[in-house]
Each structure stands twice: as structure tokens, then as C-alpha cells.
Amino acid sequence: MEEIYKLKSQGMLYKELAEKCNCSDVTILKRLAEYCEQNNLEIPKVKKRRKQITLPMEEIYKLKSQGMSYRKIAEKYDCAYETIRRRLTEYEDELILRNKYLEILLYDFNKIIDNVLNKTFGSFYDDKENQKQDDYSFIKK
């Protein structure tokens, strides 16, 4: 455990320590916590963060919607399944916001078009019997 403590203090990851000791990272974490408690030591903090990776979210979204699990996707992109789950949730939230924004833009655009058509073609449309307010189907055909 003393060697594991030193390696962890030098920045080795729990996953790497687990591979070195041929056990799970949870086992390393528990044993290291016990060792530190018995010897009045603090559990070494991770000094370096993992390199942030760029994930192709559209592709991941397609894989998930085709039924692939978070774990399988994480294995494919060599990252934690929590990362896939979190980023996918963020991506879906972004899609929802984008769609709402586009709906608002489309609604505003249609109002502007109706207003422009009303001003432009309203004076040329003399057939009062057939004229309906905001109905420009005769132009759209």
C-alpha cells in the first residue's frame, strides 16, 4: 500500500493502479482510504486532469437513438460512460433550445411576410368577395 500511495501521490490514476495490481479501481480506492486513515495521511488528490476530448455529438446521438448503450459508445470513443451520458444530455437540451428558437424565428418570419404581402398585394387585390385576411394562397400557388 505504501507503493500505491506513492504512485497515487505522483499522479497515477486509479484505473492505472488497478491494472498494475490486477484488481478494480474501486478496490484501490477503498484500500488506499483505509491505509491513509490508519496512517493519518490524506488521500492524494489527482494533480492532473484528463485531457478534454472533442466528441462527434451528432454521430453519438445517432448511435444512441439506434439503441447503442452509453458504455458501448464510451468504449468506442475511449472515455467514461458518464461523459457520454452528460454530453448527450447537454446536446439534447441544446437541440430543444435550437428548435424552440427556430420556431420563434419562423413564426416572426411568417408574420413579417404576411405584413409585407398585405402591404404589397393588398391594393392589387380588388376582388373583395374572394379576399380573406392573411390568405395569400393565390400567390403561393
The span from the CA of 128 to the CA of 32, in Å, is 87
CA 76 vs CA 11, 112, 113: distances in Å: 26, 47, 47
The span from the CA of 121 to the CA of 115, in Å, is 10
pLDDT value of residue 121: 66
pLDDT at 35 over 90: yes
Q: At what angle do helices 14-21 and 2-9 cross, to 10 degrees?
A: 150
Reported as a single tens digit per residue, the pLDDT across 71-129 is 999 899 888 888 899 999 999 999 899 889 899 999 888 888 888 877 766 655 555 55
Query: Which has the higher per-residue pLDDT, 123 or 24?
Result: 24
CA angle 104, 110, 113 (to 5 degrees): 140
pLDDT value of residue 141: 44
Q: How confident is the model at residue 14 (pLDDT cuts 50, 70, 90)?
A: confident
* Buried b or exposed e, range 38-60, using 16+ CB within 10 angstroms: eeeeeebeeeeeeeeeebebeeb
